[in-house]
A and B are shown apart, each in its own frame.
Chain A
Amino acid sequence: MSLANLDLTSVQQHFPDLLPSALSRDRGATAYRLRLPAFPSGRAFGWAELRLPKGFPEHARAEIVLSPDAVLRVPHLDQAGVLCTDGDPGPGSGHSPEDRILLLLQAYQEHFLAPWLAGGMDGDFAAEALNYWAIEVAQSLSHSDPVRAVWTVDPCPAEAIVRQGLLLLPERIVIAADEQLPITNRLIRSMGKGASQHIGVLVADIPISHTLTPGTWPRTASDLDLILGGRLKPAEYEMFRSATSRRGRRIHRVVLLRSSESAFAYLLPGGPPTVVDDGKRKKTYPPLSRPLPLSAVRLDPDWTVGRDQHPEVADRQGKRILVLGAGALGSPVIDHLAKAGVGFITVVDADDLSPANIGRHLLGAESIGKRKASAAARRVNLGYPATVVTPHAMTAESWLKKHALSGVDVVLDLTGDPDVRWYVDQARQEHPCPLLIGWMEPYVAAAHACLLPPQTPWIQGSRDPLNDLEAVSWPDEVIRREPGCSSRFQSYTAAAAAHAVALVTENALDLIDGADGSATAQVVSWVRGQHFLDKHWPGLALRDWALPAAPHEGLILTRPFP
């Protein structure tokens, strides 16, 4: 169906304010003006039109577009003036194209025009302030802007302050903190060549109690000066106004207005000239003549890790976790712990990554032949600025000989190695700390997280209870010998192991957070059902304690330890 087949007359019968003349618009769109009502003073805009993009009705939705003078004055418009309310239900809705247009026009009238005239939308800017700020920023954008965005890495200060920040080139990102904060250095490292040059800037970091809207955000240098004068202490205000570098050159000054929910930044005029290197030649642009609005985004752990929904992140940031083993279980667990906001992870593993590992390891072919501990640490350190991973490419036994467990909040033994379990127990006698022992059974038919409070040893009497805790009594043939060498392995998929990774990580986080139950020694097990066992090896049977899982695809069971 094409636009020529549309029966707009029937639409007009139901919506007489749709004017019949078709107008051509960019990218093959067709538009029809809408007759506007008499506006009260201050509510008028130039025009409104129904726009049918190229591809309507099959591959595009109809939209309402308002004149440019309405942008940032009327809520719910994007930068191009497109009204962002539900309207055309789209090609998959089962409606005829005419009905879709009619639904859009009715939505425009009932959910936009009428409330706009009645003042019902006057508070709506505040609800989506950052969307409108993005428009303000985009409207001021140019390729010669000295700064592209501001990143914040710590909580909003209680009182307005002037602080050092860093402009990172060539990415043109300002971090609103200096290298005194470790997270600044970690971000710089993550940015690699994008942050090859660091230039000191000054940031006026000012808390705000209400989000800013097009009606309240500063527009001029004088508006910003009023804020600076009102919020900074006199000496800081003077210093910020007349700031120069140590060599007496002009420096960039950023005004950051923020709360935990929204942030707005400006680069002030009066900074140094900007040099833009497009790869072929360098061009110098004069300093700004007016404040440049900038997007300000949060990279602090509370936001990147938990979107402010996880107050436990603040505590986790101070925790030190020792992870023994960076294999198919350990390496993704480290990754998940970093994603959960654990501040410090020490990872110990003596092995190199082999080609056969990459099917189920955090690392891929780029790390073949590299130390698993070092490469996993590098990967996580680059990706997650809220976490510091320190690698030790040595056996757990060697590490435990060289280091004590003092200062370690939780130990995760994910080696599966009985010797390591014994050494860890010895070390815990000297420095008691919570321990999680995690392992998988063949095919990941079961996985276990054994949680031990500080005073509970793993070795019971002189016996290592691992085999007794398993869900299946395994025939020897299940474990295979790697061709040409002495290594033994069992093939399982990364997808099957993902259940084990999740089980171990969730329980590790409980131990780290000191959650309910972490004071009791227990074993939490993921057990697959009989159907899964039968698929992998004939004649396998679940032990009695695990039988409840038999009819299911999988079940998590919790038992006391031992």
Chain B
Amino acid sequence: MKIGGLLLLLSGWAIVVAALLLLHSGALSAFIVAGFAVEILGLALFAKAHVLISKDNG
């Protein structure tokens, strides 16, 4: 779960960078927002993994 979160964070950033390198104008903004949304999902997953670890440790 933790690794999944980290990978989603990195993937989101990769989407943002790819959009900057490959796209222009309207599509660019849409893909940047999409990449950012993927990062938020990754961050939520990453945080959730730590909450579970914290609960397991008592």
Same complex: no
